[in-house]
Amino acid sequence: MPESRRSAQPAALWAPRAWLDDGWHDAVLLSIGDDGRWTEIAPGVRSPPEGAAVLDGPVLPGLVDAHSHAFQRAFAGLAEQREAATDDFWSWRDRMYEVASRVTPAELRAIAAHLYVELLRGGYTHVCEFHYLHHDSDGRSYADPLEMAWAIADGAGEAGIGLTLLPVLYERAGFALPELRVDQRRFATTAQSVHAAQHQIAAARRPLLNAGLAIHSLRAASPASIASLASLARDLDGPLHIHVAEQMSEVNECVAATGVRPIQWLVREGLLDARWQLVHATHSLPSEIEAVASRSAGVVLCPSTEGNLGDGLADLSGWLASGASMSIGSDSQVTRNWPEELRWLDYGQRLALHKRNVAAAPEFNTPSTAQRLFSLTVRSGAAAAGEAKWGLSPGARADALVVDTHDPALVGIPPSRLLDAIVFASAERPFRDCVVGGRFVMRDHVHPEAGAIAARFETAMHALWNQG
């Protein structure tokens, strides 16, 4: 967001109610340091002190969107017709590559900025960008090899959202296909190139920008390259993400190539630690879940994308019982708000198990499905984003959402059931204000740059889809 349009950072916020680490508290004063992080969280402050910004509604922490492919926003809603006998993840992927092959840096910036405004409106204040669209359309490197990465970072800056850029190791088309396909030529990287990119992104020290690493998948990177990247990243204090076990065909091919399933391979090679985030892990065994949790690694579930692509259902009960870190992601951008992701995370289980409130845990004094899922994803977002802390807690970045209790779906809801209603009553615009790094980026549902950003996105869409 241009500096001239940024709101001044208040010294403190005062909320009539706020969701802290242990649930709701009344009359909460949230003090902000010059570095844009919370310095003190004080409940029970009945009168707002002079200089504090008084918030017009209950306050929630912003959530981390732990898995995003920004360019796929240009494809959302455009793969919902079938002309062949069947349609699945792999046929969707081939069509998605058509967009990936054409988008320019300027178009990517426009797409990312528009998406990120939507994510802010949907309650995300930070996004982890799984970035593998590196090169020109002919596969050649740009003069600045990070031109596409900076396009994403510039889009995030326009929107005012926090960003973790994850340059992706991507070098082959499959376990038995050592070269990339022609339509994957923009993705080509090595362990050395993505490690260098991570260092360069971190060295830029842009506001609200973190840098980590990613491996596309075991099918897209050789064991030698994965070992090389793990060695180069020994001192990495940021996250390391990987797609894993999203499709059963991937699992079967991994077994054929390595003798073990994908998660088992990661465990066998001794790679997992608290930095690792396993994206999807849809097809996992109880023993694999236990192994991931015991190594303090996390999982990132993307329910709307996994449903849209027909991936299958993750073992939500298994992950919850394991105590593993669990985040959510918007992934292919068919859904761009966390309440819907949490809703479908539980709805999928309800449909499969013929039960309700699967994620609720009254035995742990958490009878609310929404509260259990929300609390876990708030806590887990820190590791996924490369932040030491997250939420309304001293030391965490000063991100917050002000709930609009005048939304028709939330009118008259008892305060103790507000989070339940945000997730399961399908509020259309639940968040009226959004704070990132101590500054308001949205007030009264208005993002100051949204109009100009949407116009550039529309231009990019016309160019990509050859509209008149």
At 133-174, the pLDDT tens digits run: 999 999 999 999 999 999 999 999 999 999 999 999 999 999
Fold match between 3-61+399-451 and 63-385? no
User: How many Å apart are CA 132 and CA 130, to the nearest integer?
Assistant: 7
State the DSSP code for 5: G
- pTM of the entire predicted model: 0.97
The CATH number of 3-61+399-451 is 2.30.40.10
What CATH superfamily is the domain 63-385? Metal-dependent hydrolases (3.20.20.140)
**CB-CB contact of 82 with 69 (8 Å):** no
C-beta neighbour count of 242 within 10 angstroms: 29
User: How many Å apart are CA 33 and CA 38, to the nearest integer?
Assistant: 6
Region 352-380: what's the mean pLDDT? 97
Sole residue written with tokens 């939500």: 316
Is residue 97 exposed (0-12), middle (13-18) or buried (19+ Cβ within 10 Å)?
middle
User: How many Å apart are CA 288 and CA 268, to the nearest integer?
Assistant: 11
- Identify whether 331 is a catalytic site residue: yes
At 47-77, the pLDDT tens digits run: 999 999 999 999 999 999 999 999 999 999 9
Which residues are 401's β-sheet partners?
60, 434
User: How many Å apart are CA 272 and CA 37, to the nearest integer?
Assistant: 30
User: How many Å apart are CA 451 and CA 114, to the nearest integer?
Assistant: 9
Catalytic residue from among 280, 346, 399, 433 = 280
Residue 433, CA atoms < 13 Å, CB-side half-sphere: 19
Catalytic residue from among 65, 154, 311, 331 = 331
Model confidence band, residue 1 (pLDDT cutoffs 50, 70, 90): low
For the ranges 8-12, 279-283, 343-347, the lowest mean pLDDT is seen at 8-12
> Where are the chain's structural domains?
3-61+399-451, 63-385
At 197-208, the pLDDT tens digits run: 999 999 999 999
- Give start and end residues of each alpha helix (H) in 105-190: 105-121, 147-159
> In terms of Cα–Cα distance, which of 67, 62, 63 is closest to 305?
67
pLDDT recorded at residue 468: 43
What DSSP letter does each residue of 118-140 carry, written as one string? HHHHTTEEEEEEEE---S-TTSP
User: How many Å apart are CA 237 and CA 371, to the nearest integer?
Assistant: 30
User: How many Å apart are CA 316 and CA 341, to the nearest integer?
Assistant: 13
Q: Average pLDDT over the chain, rounded to whole?
A: 96
- Identify whether 280 is a catalytic site residue: yes
> In terms of Cα–Cα distance, which of 97, 42, 47 is closest to 74?
97
Distances (CA, A) of 349 to 90, 308, 315: 24, 15, 8
pLDDT recorded at residue 360: 97
Backbone phi, then psi, for 26, in 5-degree steps? -95, 155
